[in-house]
Amino acid sequence: MRPGASLAGIDLGLEGKSALVAAASKGLGFTIADGLAAEGCHLAICSRDSQRINEAAERIRSAHDVEVHPSVVDITDSDALHGWVDESAERWGSLDLVIANGGGPRAASFDELADNDFDVAYRLVLRSALTLAAAARPHLGRGASVLFNTSISVREPLGALALSTIFRAGVTSLAKLLADEWASDGIRVNQLIPGRILTDRVADLDGYLATQRDVSMEEIRAQNEESIPLRRYGTPEEYAAAAVFLLSDAASYITGASLQVDGGVLRAI
């Protein structure tokens, strides 16, 4: 059995809350949405892919007795993102939980990139986070919680992930800024930092490194696991458990925090 995580049996105060999860058709976004549904949250989830987001919604509904409202939204389209947020807030009257999430930009070193690569990555990573925060703000009341998914590149620049390193650093600054500005209104804002979690995105990154170094993906994974103190990749469920906790009332005195879910790979003090 792969390592997993569960918050079953712990009252996190999430029953009946509304949660908006961006890019939730698969990967970390889906697993966070599923974890929130397991705690009794009602969901609005989105993806660019109609089939995938509807299938994701059905999987969650089948497992948990909650509302799940799937929408087709390209998070790089600011107007579409505003419309999705407003529609979701209108459905429930407000938003309790907001998870800013999105796919990562392509793996490449700085010298491999062209101007258009920076434009695409900015819209995907930083501008989508800015837009989602701005769109959600009018619908957030006291007790609301916002979570930004980022990357270990915000703590340790990664040469093969130049775009992620550059733009996710801006998301980190945004999270810290909003935590300070919104605290007086009782809104918490935190950041969650994934290490090597078993997702399609990480598999793609391992494939990129394997090609660059002319070795197999198995060798890349073995090298990575050797560098991780816990000697393994994490599971999406382990990551989602940390996200659900930070979003919950159990973390009511935590804001402006950056939590690493990385098996100890980041050694910075």
What digits encode the pLDDT tens for the residues 248-258?
999 999 999 99
Residues 104-117 have a mean pLDDT of 93
Q: How confident is the model at residue 1, as a pLDDT?
A: 29
Q: How confident is the model at residue 187, as a pLDDT?
A: 98
Banded model confidence at residue 8, pLDDT cuts 50, 70, 90: low
Residues 231-247 have a mean pLDDT of 96
Q: How confident is the model at residue 2, as a pLDDT?
A: 38
Location of structure tokens 């600011």: 78
Convert the pLDDT of each residue in 65-82 to its tens digit.
999 999 999 999 999 999
To the question of domain 18-195+235-260 being in CATH 3.40.50.720, the answer is yes
* pTM (2 d.p.): 0.93
Banded model confidence at residue 3, pLDDT cuts 50, 70, 90: very low
Convert the pLDDT of each residue in 121-168 to its tens digit.
999 999 999 999 999 999 999 999 999 999 999 998 988 899 999 999
Q: How confident is the model at residue 253, as a pLDDT?
A: 97
Amino acid identity, residue 127? Answer: R
Q: Where in the chain is the domain with CATH 3.40.50.720?
A: 18-195+235-260
For the chain, percent of residues with pLDDT exceeding 70: 96
Per-residue CA distances from 20 to 100, 111, 154, 228, 230 (Å): 9, 37, 24, 32, 32
Q: How confident is the model at residue 206, as a pLDDT?
A: 84
Looking at every residue in the chain, the average pLDDT score rounds to 93
For the chain, percent of residues with pLDDT exceeding 90: 84
- Is the pLDDT confidence value at 190 over 70? yes
Q: Which of 86-95, 212-221, 244-253 has the weakest average pLDDT?
A: 212-221
Q: Are 143 and 132 in contact (CB under 8 A)?
A: no
